[in-house]
Amino acid sequence: ASTLTTLAAFGPLLFWPGMIGDFMGYLPLTLIITLSSSLLVAMVIIPTLCSMFIRLDDEPRKPLTKAARRALIGLTGLFFLIVAGFNWLTAVLFLLTALLAIGAHKLVLHRMEDWFQDKGIPTWIRFYEKQLWWALEHRAVVLAGAAGVFILTILAFVALNNGVEFFPEGIPPSQVWATAEGPVGTRAEVTNRVAAILEEEVKGFAGMADAESVVTTVGSGGGNFMEQGPGGPEAGRVTIQFVDFQDRSFDAFETLAQMQGQVGKDLAGVTVTVDQMDQGPPTGNPVNIEIIGEDPAVLRALSDEAIQILEDDPVYPKLVGLESDLDEARPELSVLVDREKAALYGLSTSRVGMAVRGSINGIEAAKYRTGNDEYDIVVRLAPQWRSELNALEDLTVMDEGTQVPLVSVASWKVGEGLGSIRRKDMVRVATVSSDVASGYNSNAVLAEVQATLTSFEESLQPGYMIRYTGENEEQDEASAFLSTAFLLALALMGFILISQFNSIVKPVIILSSVIMSTVGVLAGLMVFQMPFVIIMTGLGIISLAGIVVNNAIVLIDYIDILRERDGMNRRQALVQGGKTRFRPVILTAATTALGLVPLAIGLNFDFFGLYGSLTPDLYWGGDQAAWWGSMAVSVIVGIMFATFLTLILVPVLYSLVDDFSAFFRRHFVAPEEELA
């Protein structure tokens, strides 16, 4: 039942939809396969090993035979010889490690083990027994205290939390880029000079001592598989690649913040944006505002107005790369054909349009072949005529051998055309988007943007509306799915527990401890000043549910055995069951917490580097701590609080539910004599 309930906790995560599900789907799949394998090990392999090696404390150790000692020495020597054949340093280090482990066990660990077994655990159990007796005598106080802690922790977290994030935002960037965009039509030579200025500016920061490379691109390119680079001759990018985290001397976030505040501020007529590479799956910008309507001109005006409102608001310094996805208007030559005059000459609008297009872009007249190569022969006006608008006055349109002057049937003008028309779900939309400056929480900045645009949204004319999408939309979907997955996991656990205990009230006790364990998660985030990360903290809560259920199952199952098999009264069974299961519950919590400490602090250690070349590459922090820290802290603090729930609150709830069941049977269930 313990394994099944843990599998039930992760089972719903297999159906995580969308891009986030594809990105995180490996985690529940790996855990389910690992837990299923551990069940096989626990049922088959562990009993076999126990029968071979476990002995009672007072049982004398049986000495090895001479043949066994010789075989052990020979296998050990053979192992070291094989390792030395590949790397003698590795063999020496293995030997030193073995000697150090044996010496530590003989001198220190053996004494600590004896103290832990003979004094430590018994002392803790006696203390726990006194507290449990007191809790069973004061059940109302315990329940009121637990409920009060639950409510106060939630209220405190609402007031004192360190923000909410979708994916961890504290991952040190490995890449930073400065992008420059000039007006449409800017020549590549001009953009190249601007990019060179930006490159010199970024090199002046102290944090550039950690730069591994600086690459400047003009026009298309400059991106990677996660994000596309700039396009067009008016755009350029300076990409900075940092060295690995452990080799850095400066904080990459401080370097990024300095660049965002200083780079490109003296360049007129150019929009300069400094940003970092997105971490995690592609989810859109943190600030992504879609303005929906029908008229492209109105959408252009509304998007410009929204940008202007944000630029005039105090929130603007927290935004990076605020822009609209509607491209700037491009110069356009419009040829207006007088259909009546064209009809008099027997011309159509398509014939006139082809003549103008052919004179400027050219018409394929034939093909030239030489060997296996083939070239198009294009006929068009000479360069000096193509670049002059007045040349159109001398252009003629051919119609069955008759040359008709263009000025006789058409007029023309130069204006601005729409840069782009974008649709989403069959409706026209203009998107105003922005990243968030380094050091600011994305959700907090988005809330400020929403408050700033409240009056703008209310003033929209009928038929036009705005909606917030991008990362915010993905976050809402992920939150809804994780909430549903958590409730579904509780339901699956409930079905399994009902079949295990043949009772409804006992699963309620166990599942209530799961819900109460979230207090430890919230308290841990507040104590360590960590944000609530929707994805990682959510996974931590679901993981914690499986552990808490296991401990509660072990305790309640043994209490039932004591009552049914040994005939103990309820209170004696509760105390004895708690004392007996104290050791496995504490060891489960301790091993789980200690196992997650390296993830929480970001402990990085290269085992192969140490034993292969004495380069352990030991350091703390980095991507690992930022990515897994919130999940690890959630489980560590949560399991510590859940241990109290299992050892104190679960017995108290058991006694109360048992009293309620007895009361219900006494007053609402007919005696067996009456049924007979």
**What pLDDT is recorded for position 269?**
81
User: pLDDT by residue (tens digit) across 658-669?
Assistant: 888 777 777 666
Q: Are 218 and 188 in contact (CB under 8 A)?
A: yes
* DSSP summary character for residue 408: G
> Is 60 exceeded by the pLDDT of residue 438?
yes
SS (H, E, C) 421-481: CCEECCEEEEEEEEEECCCCCHHHHHHHHHHHCHHHHHCCCCCCEEEECCHHHHHHHHHHH
The fold for domain 330-417 equals 3.30.2090
Q: Which CATH class is domain 2-63+138-167+475-662?
A: mainly alpha
pLDDT bin (cut points 50, 70, 90) of residue 673 is low
Q: CB under 8 Å to 331, separation ≥6 — which residues?
A: 185, 414, 415, 416, 417
User: pLDDT by residue (tens digit) across 355-385?
Assistant: 888 787 788 888 888 888 888 888 887 777 7
Q: Which helix (H) or strand (E) holds 271?
A: strand 271-276
Average pLDDT over residues 536-541: 86
**What pLDDT is recorded for position 42?**
83
d(CA 537, CA 521): 8
Query: Where do the structural domains in the chain lie, given as residue ranges?
Result: 2-63+138-167+475-662, 172-278, 330-417
> Is 50 exceeded by the pLDDT of residue 675?
no
**How many CA within 13 A on the CB side of residue 102?**
6
Tell me which of 45-59, 172-186, 337-351, 585-599 is least confident: 45-59
**What pLDDT is recorded for position 155?**
92
d(CA 198, CA 181): 12
The radius of gyration of the chain's CA atoms, rounded to the nearest angstrom, is 36
For residue 616, count CB atoms less than 10 angstroms from its CB and return exposed for 0-12, middle for 13-18, buried for 19 or more: middle
Q: Of the ranges 233-242, 363-372, 493-502, which is most confident?
A: 233-242
How large a percentage of the chain has pLDDT more than 90? 3
> Is 80 exceeded by the pLDDT of residue 558?
yes
User: pLDDT by residue (tens digit) across 448-461?
Assistant: 999 999 998 888 88
The fold for domain 172-278 equals Alpha-Beta Plaits (3.30.70)
> Is 80 exceeded by the pLDDT of residue 527?
yes
Tell me which of 57-61, 451-455, 461-465, 567-571 is least confident: 57-61
Q: CB under 8 Å to 171, separation ≥6 — which residues?
A: 279, 623, 626, 627
**What pLDDT is recorded for position 420?**
58
Output the six-digit token pair for 595.
């196992």
> Is 50 exceeded by the pLDDT of residue 225?
no
User: How far apart, in Å, are the Cα atoms of 433 and each of 286, 289, 501, 606?
Assistant: 8, 6, 55, 41
User: pLDDT by residue (tens digit) across 396-429?
Assistant: 887 777 788 878 888 877 766 555 567 777 788 8
Q: What is the dihedral of CA 464, 468, 469, 470, to 10 degrees?
A: 130
> Is 90 exceeded by the pLDDT of residue 541?
no
- What is residue 64's three-state secondary structure? coil
User: How far apart, in Å, are the Cα atoms of 200 and each of 19, 158, 203, 238?
Assistant: 38, 46, 5, 10
Alpha helix segments (H runs only) across 203-295: 252-262
**What pLDDT is recorded for position 118?**
79
Mean pLDDT (the chain, rounded): 83
**What pLDDT is recorded for position 151?**
92
Closest-CA residue to 450 (of 284, 285, 287, 283): 287
Whole-prediction pTM value?
Answer: 0.75
Output the six-digit token pair for 618.
């030991």
